[in-house]
Structure 1
Amino acid sequence: MITNLIGKSVLVVEDNDKIRHLVGLYLKKEGYEVLEAKDGFEAKRMIEQYDPCILLLDLVLPKISGEEICVWLRNDLKSQMPIIMLTAKASEKERIHGFKLGADDYIVKPFSPGELMVRIEAVLRRTASRCNKISFSGLTIKPLKGEVKINGELLDLTNFEYRLLHVLMQHPDQILTRSQILSYIYENNEKTVTDRTIDVHIKNLREKLKKKTKTEYVETVRGMGYKFVGNQNYINYF
């Protein structure tokens, strides 16, 4: 698993169900959050709602073409969202045209999943500053903006709840004791709450999350502490 990319969201836009599913499985294996769209209309909706870290875009799509999506992203939204085009069009002229539309990379079908993963990682390294966020199962936190969203909707949290969630999401599927959580939140040991106060904040955080979704993100591990359940299953939001 590419640990420095855990929680990075990828939108796969591909009308071929088999290819879309296969790409999603490999992305999941490498720790990415996967979103899907099978046509250009769904792709636009997913982009506006979830703002993924990177877009894997087939050029030949129903309803709205991949080329139109590129133009819309770059010209209308003024977005620098990285785009890797997936296409059967292999000529030099067509590749140059893709780059002119705003693609960051271009991979020709059929392609190996291994090569695709390497290309995704390379593009994300170059554009890391754009996607400073962590996403799991529809829950996204953006540290630079100080905001949390569930399925695209803003979640109103107190400052402590926000920092608590951030710590947990940075350590998915790891059990953190109350003392560990406090040490992450108060790096200079300037603690203003006791260990047991964590329980109250966890309870409030859970209640706010449950109002937006049925997903149980925070798990209590009896006698040990708490764990953020970073569900790495293949995510399909439709």
Structure 2
Amino acid sequence: MIVIVDERELVTDGYSSLFDREGVASTGFKSGEFGEWVSSAADADLKSVRAFLIGDCGSEAVLPRAIRDRTGAPVIALSEQHSLENTLRLFESGVDDVIRKPVHIREILARIAAIRRRATDEQKPTEIGRMRIFMDGRDPEIDGQPLPLPRRERRILEYLAGNSGRRVTKTQVFNAIYGLFDEEVEENVVESHISKLRKKLRERLGFDPIDSKRFLGYRLVV
């Protein structure tokens, strides 16, 4: 999920619409609401955030270093002032990147992916048995051969791999794939996605690598 912070609802709604077209969950906050949320949100909720986009929030209304106290997700400033002084000020405030507007939504996603690759070992695939699972949008491989998956199923597999050995609840999976505040999609859709994913993995592997327990959630069998 991408979190967008801007005082203008028109801006947050616009970006959310563009991210939705790319199949990426997002939500928008005004700076006051965001400050309250980021300080009190559960760790599991913050873990579902891929990046924070900080737009027009007033002077020092949103402090990137305060976000750092809760999560290591990339913090990117969206700047409408094309000046060196403003860019330097934003970097000094603690952001990971400064993007000058206007910008294509795919460039934002590419920059987020690049920052996450540098900050973590996500460029290295996760090896689980005969599976090789990438964290950069590529299809997983089984026995060295790609397994084409729809976007939602691939993201679920990536999320399970990122929590390898730990059990995650249906709510956690839903939040990671659809976002924390998507009220138009029922949480039970996760069960349908996982059922289809399990069938494809079982056909290729010969067994079901996703262990599920009612009320406890899912985990990949390591």
TM-score category, normalised to shorter length: 0.5 to 0.7
Rg (Cα) greater in structure: 1
Per the alignment, do residues 147 and 38 of structure 1 end up closer, same or farther by CA in structure 2, a change over 3 Å counting?
farther
Q: Indicate conservation of the 8 Å contact 2:5/2:55, yes or no.
A: yes
- Pick aligned residue for 1:120 from 109, 120, 123: 109
Paired-residue identity, %: 13
Which amino acid in structure 1 is aligned with residue 110 of structure 2? E
**Does 2:14 match 1:22?**
yes
Quick check: 1:40–1:61 contact (8 Å CA) kept in 2?
no
CA contact (8 A) 1:37 1:43 kept: no
Question: C-alpha displacement at 1:126, in angstroms?
Answer: 3.5
Q: Secondary structure at the match of 1:102?
A: coil
Q: Which residue of 2 aligns with 1:176?
A: 196
What TM-score comes out, normalization by structure 1 length?
0.52
Q: Secondary structure at the match of 1:80?
A: coil
Q: 1:32 aligns with which of 10, 24, 28?
A: 24
Aligned mates of 2:99, 2:116 — CA distance in 1: 18
Q: CA–CA distance in 2 between the matches of 1:149 and 1:133? A: 23
**Which digits, 9 at most, give the CA deviation of each residue in 1:84-127, with x for residues without a partner?**
11233332112112112222221234x14x2x431322331331
- The alpha-carbon distance between structure 1 residues 180 and 168, as it changes in their structure 2 partners (threshold 3 A), is same
- Aligned: 1:12 with 2:4: yes
| 1:54 pairs with one of 42, 46, 51 | 51
Query: Is the Cα contact below 8 Å between 2:201 and 2:208 reproduced in 1?
Result: no
2:6 partner letter? E
Q: Deviations over 1:41-64 (max 9, x none)?
A: 4255257442201111125259x7
**Structure 2 residue identity aligned to 1:14:** D
Separation in 2 of the partners of 1:89 and 1:120?
21
- 2: CA distance between counterparts of 1:148 and 1:37? 26
Matching residue of 2:127: none
Say whether the 8 Å CA contact 1:167–1:181 is kept in structure 2.
no
User: What is the TM-score of this pair, normalised by structure 2?
Assistant: 0.55
**Structure 1 residues 101, 168: CA separation in 2 closer, same or farther (over 3 Å shift)?**
same
1:103 aligns with 2:95: yes
Please report how far the alpha carbon of residue 179 of structure 1 lies from its aligned counterpart in structure 2 after TM superposition.
5.2
Unaligned residue ranges in structure 2 (runs of 5+): 123-134, 138-150, 174-189, 218-222
Sort the Cα spacing of 1:39 and 1:151 in 2 relative to 1 into closer, same or farther, 3 A: farther
Give every structure 1 segment of 4 or more consecutive aligned residues whose post-TM-superposition deviation is greater than 6 Å: 133-136
| RMSD of aligned alpha carbons | 4.4
Amino acid in the other structure paired with 1:73: I
